[in-house]
Structure 1
Amino acid sequence: MDVCLLSTGCGLEFLLVLCGLEFSWSCPHHCICYTTPSTVSCQAHNFLSVPDGIPPDSERIFLQNNKIHRLLPGHFSSNTVTLWIYSNNITYIDPSTFRGFTLLEELDLGDNRHLRSLAEDTFHGLIKLNALHLYRCGLSSLPDNIFRGLRNLQYLYLQDNHLKNLQDDTFMDLHNLSHLFLHGNRLWSLNQNSFRGLRALDRLLLHQNQIEWVDNLAFHDLKSLTTLYLFNNSLTELSGQCLGMLPALEYLRLNDNPWSCDCKALSLWEWLKRFRGSTSSVGCQMPDYMVGKDLKELRREDFPNCSPTVSNSESRAQTNNLSGTVNPSMNRGVAVGSGGQTNIAHPSRPGRPRTCTKPRNRGSKEKGDNEVHHSKEVMADKEDSSPNFTEGGKHDHTSPDGTVTRRKHKCTPRTTVRPPSGVQQVNNNAAPSKSLLHFRALIVALIATNTEYILR
């Protein structure tokens, strides 16, 4: 009975036993610990710092909804697999805090509104990290190379910060990233190399920013992207060539932008006529005679004085012949490739021109369950960071106008799944092994001997 009085209550311990969880008696004060799997739960106790006495073999540590303000080396051990510290008052993270955490798979630092800045090497070495939560942290910029080496990362939550721009190649190492959440920031432009390297990206959420300028090649690496949200920004135009670089696109949201439906919109109008996926309305805000109309519903006759847009092959040839970089800050609000207008030239990567608008493969798409699942014991108070997506293999998308569109599984999966490092794949064309060759030679010799004996 004395032991029960020292813990958080016999009732809770009894429930843990009923659930098949072995209770651990080596546990920080006011925390709950159990060993299957080894877990420390210290949520919602107004801790001002990480509590002492966390067992070094703890795989899961839950510290959300406290008042912790600093993270330092030694607070956690390198055995940690899941670490939740969201909804605290963290203002500083020592760059060595997670040094050597090669087993860490999920790190949730979200909703620490006064964090504001991170050192470049804060996450270096987290080679198994699968999900990183940095939403609502007051971040105004991201250091160079902050995501370097995170090649297993699939989910990156950066929404509801104060990010104004994305430096080139920020996500270059994230070869397996499938979900990138950047909505609710202050981004105003998307440059040519803002998303370079994200070849496995499936969903890119950029809504509720201040985007008014998109480079013609901003999406050139996003060959697997199926979902793009650009609604509620400041876009007046967007070239069809820009969207033509997204061959797997299925869901596009462009509503609540101040679209200009004059000759500058002809390129986008032509692309929308060819697009076979789901799109929102594209409400015209200018010129006056177009206000209230939907660009998608216009006809070619509504652009009587607009010269035809440059064909895809000609446009690519022109782009590939250009060199140098145009500073987007000098041309805010101007997109590339608008029909009948003076275009701003932006360079392309050297190499053979690529066909960006060829017909998509209409084969069936069976998508696996790739959402992040969290532990049930503390999920009740964890905010859902991706409200538009349901768990499971079929994802329902809620559009801004309240309608729900269901994924139709139209495209074949494009995300590359690589074997773990050091694991060699079977080569079906490889030569037979020496032992197999010896065995075959022995069989042939026996057959020859038996045949000679029978003939005698």
Structure 2
Amino acid sequence: MFKRGCGLEFLLVLCGLELSWSCPRHCICYTAPSTVSCQAHNFLSVPEGIPPDSERIFLQNNKIHRLLRGHFSSNTITLWIYSNNITYIEPSTFHGFTLLEELDLGDNRHLRSLAEDTFHGLSRLNALHLYRCGLSSLPNNIFQGLRNLQYLYLQDNHLKFLQDDTFMDLHNLSHLFLHGNRLWSLNQNTFRGLRALDRLLLHQNQIEWVDRLAFHDLKRLTTLFLFNNSLIQLSGQCLDTLPALEYLRLNDNPWSCDCKALSLWEWLKRFRGSTSSVGCVAPADVLGKDLKELRKEDFPSCSPTVPSSESRAQTNNLSGTVNPSMNRGVAVGSGGQTHIEHTSRPGRSRNCTKPRNRVSKGKGYNEVHHSKEVMADKEDSSPDFTDGGKHDHTSPDGTVTRRKHKCTPRTTVRPPSGVQQANNRATLVQSLLHVYALFVALITANIDYIFR
């Protein structure tokens, strides 16, 4: 047995691999990087015997109910536990996990609440997946200290309201997915602190009220999706705070195209990026028309908007926010009396978004994801999304438009190192185990010669 074990190790070493002999039952384990794959085995709890030096742990597609302190070690870099039955996470489960770069807790539909300090201390966390978890609220400071986080997936939950400064510490966040929730208002400080944000997806909510300064910190935002909400009005001043915006989707809202839409109409006339249709449902004489296609004559007896210089002065002097609880159902920019003209700064580089093809994260059985699938899943950067899965890429009108100007592209965000190193080694290990049966006789016969 010793000789055969040595023969197998020798064969694997020749191929640059080394099996880990300490592995939970029904799981696949290997080293370089140290990985434990226990996916799709109907585990009811985290399996025992996970080596403490494991860097990557894959537990997706099981029936695990609880996550407790001690289930994993602080050496973990990548942890996938999506598509389980998790209902409870002990607050200290991930305390001390200073190496953790990706945590996927998505598609745990009964995980309806989280403790405030669940993710505290995860200073290297790059991607956090909390999609389809049944969350109805987020506690104060839940994302405190996550200054390296770049991807935050909160779509398809039951969120109705976001507290001010919820994302204040996320200085490097580039992608925020909030679509498919029940949000109805966006306050002045909802997105405060998100100065690096590139994409904000808010479609398929119930948004009917947006503060005119809701996006004031989002100077690098290139993609904003607000389609399929309950918006009646939206001030052009609100969008003027987004100097880098390139892709905007406003379709499937009940737009009122009267005088209160004048500032939005003027903003759309100036905007040079890609926009969807803005279908009017009122007044009756413009029913079914696109706000973008209306003419100045379609706004008879409307007061002119404020000149841009005066508008800037008003913006600089604004303080506080109208209480949304007192104005539910009243949209932003009432009266269309404010307007900002944005002037590009000389020599200012713009953010560019390069489209990439993507494959949804696979739900394969008994194997670690193939490297191409993993890389595609973690490097999604296409400009258009809808509501299915983690990301989607088809725009509501079925088209993808591009800016023609040249600009300096945003630095490519590489996936977490644990995911980046994922490849087909697990598949190769299984193949080698079959090949081993063919070579074992030869290795055994010559073992004395090999180790002489």
Q: What's the TM-score, normalizing by structure 1?
A: 0.78
Superposition deviation, residue 199 in structure 1: 0.3
1:69–1:88 contact (8 Å) kept in structure 2: yes
342, 345, 358: which one aligns with 1:357: 342
Corresponding residue SS for 2:260? helix
Work out the CA distance in 1 between the residues paired with 2:368 and 2:118: 29
Work out the CA distance in 2 between the residues paired with 1:23 and 1:29: 15
- CA distance 1:79–1:400, change in 2 (3 Å): same
- Structure 2 residue runs without a partner (length 5+): 385-390, 414-452
Superposition deviation, residue 381 in structure 1: 9.2
Corresponding residue SS for 2:401? strand
- CA distance 1:386–1:82, change in 2 (3 Å): closer
Superposition deviation, residue 358 in structure 1: 1.3
Superposition deviation, residue 321 in structure 1: 3.7
Superposition deviation, residue 330 in structure 1: 1.3
Counting only pairs closer than 5 Å after superposition, residues 52-91 of structure 1 correspond to structure 2 as: 52-91=48-87
Q: What residue in structure 2 maps to residue 403 of structure 1?
A: 399
Superposition deviation, residue 377 in structure 1: 3.0
Aligned residues: 397
Instruction: Decide which moves more: 293-302 or 325-334.
Output: 325-334
- CA distance 1:370–1:191, change in 2 (3 Å): farther
- Structure 1 residue runs without a partner (length 5+): 5-9, 344-353, 418-456
CA RMSD of aligned residues (A): 3.6
151, 168, 186: which one aligns with 1:155: 151
Q: What residue in structure 1 maps to residue 308 of structure 2?
A: 312
Corresponding residue SS for 2:281? strand
Work out the CA distance in 2 between the residues paired with 1:107 and 1:363: 33
Amino acid at match of 2:30: Y
2:231–2:331 contact (8 Å) kept in structure 1: no
Q: What residue in structure 2 maps to residue 378 of structure 1?
A: 369
1:388–1:396 contact (8 Å) kept in structure 2: no
| Higher relative contact order (Cα pairs below 8 Å, separated by 6+ residues) | 2
Work out the CA distance in 2 between the residues paired with 1:15 and 1:269: 70
1:119–1:143 contact (8 Å) kept in structure 2: yes
Superposition deviation, residue 36 in structure 1: 1.6
Corresponding residue SS for 1:83? strand
Q: In the TM superposition, what whole-angstrom CA distance separates every residue of 1:86-144 from its partner, at most 9, and x where no partner exists?
A: 00000000010001000000000000000000000000000000000000000000000
Amino acid at match of 1:50: V
Q: What's the TM-score, normalizing by structure 2?
A: 0.79
Superposition deviation, residue 316 in structure 1: 3.6
- CA distance 1:296–1:204, change in 2 (3 Å): same
Q: In the TM superposition, what whole-angstrom CA distance separates every residue of 1:52-73 from its partner, at most 9, and x where no partner exists?
A: 0000000000000000010000
Work out the CA distance in 2 between the residues paired with 1:61 and 1:182: 27
Counting only pairs closer than 5 Å after superposition, residues 13-412 of structure 1 correspond to structure 2 as: 20-339=16-335, 357-359=342-344, 377-378=368-369, 389=382, 398-406=394-402, 408=404, 410-412=406-408
2:107–2:131 contact (8 Å) kept in structure 1: yes
- CA distance 1:396–1:66, change in 2 (3 Å): closer
Larger gyration radius, structure 1 or structure 2: 1
Work out the CA distance in 1 between the residues paired with 2:368 and 2:129: 19
1:240–1:267 contact (8 Å) kept in structure 2: yes
Work out the CA distance in 2 between the residues paired with 1:315 and 1:127: 41
2:155–2:177 contact (8 Å) kept in structure 1: yes
1:189–1:211 contact (8 Å) kept in structure 2: yes
Amino acid at match of 2:132: R
- CA distance 1:73–1:136, change in 2 (3 Å): same
Corresponding residue SS for 1:235? coil
